[in-house]
Amino acid sequence: MLRLRSIAEIPSGLPTPVVLVPTMGSLHEGHRALIRRAREIAGEAGSVLVSIFVNPLQFDRPADLEAYPRAVESDLAICEQLGVDTVFFPEPTDFFAADHSIAVSEDLLSKPLCGATRPGHFEGVCTVVLKLFNVLTPTDALFGKKDYQQLAIIRRLVRDLALPVKIHGLETIRESDGLALSSRNLNLTAIQRADAPRLRRALLAARDLRINGEQRSEVYLETARLLLLQNAPEDLKIDYLQLVDRESLQLLANVTGNALLAAALYYDEVRLIDNIEI
């Protein structure tokens, strides 16, 4: 397995297809699923690349950046175990110049959901993803649907800038109790971790309203909100709970087509997100 610490070390002419799995490290089973799918797409003759980079540009709170879990050595061992061909894990000082002054912004899909409460987050995402695509030149890239808004924005980035990369979305990988796998789960206390599956239960209950033909968005939202707050611990706070169109991510008054119910919660300083397609 080739280990690259800087842009200057990146070789040219890797066997194609070149399939990239961008991560911020602290790899879990969700990342493993992405890597396995990448190998299926690349085949034995192609190349699987994994990037491990905690991108400072997409954190709106310094404390969140500082607390983000880092486990580079175990991440490298996982990549080796899964047959990854190349791992790119640069330092921020190598990847971004100290006086970098150009960023990539998206002005529609990034307005609701996480974008409404995390200013600059998706500008940071778009900037780092575009740079990863430029320096690693993948033919394909994989992203999980847990970050549904991120996936939609990256698809738009590729479309609007005519980037020669095919984007693949993978279903959310979950724990046995329904909690979406996330590196942030490691920062939960035992009590918070035991309570956290309420997020998935609330989304499922709201989704099931569609069975009876319910269309009013306020009914979906109120159903989910009640379950999120019922007997909730004092340190739980709803960051957002929104019902949007699955493609445009714009708010919906009524559910008549493909919709997405998405939510973000805080347990103290730990932020969890999840969503469900309706």
Note if 31 is an active site residue.
Answer: yes
For residue 23, what are the β-bridge partners? 52
**CB neighbours (10 Å) of residue 45?**
8
250, 122 contact by CB (below 8 A): no
| Cα–Cα distance measured from residue 39 to residue 155, given in angstroms and rounded to the nearest whole number | 21
Kind plus residue range of the DSSP H or E element containing 19 = strand 18-23
21, 31 contact by CB (below 8 A): yes
For residue 64 the two structure tokens come to 């969140």
Longest dimension (CA), the chain: 58
The one catalytic residue among 31, 100, 121, 168: 31
**CB neighbours (10 Å) of residue 170?**
18
User: Which residues have a catalytic role annotated?
Assistant: 31
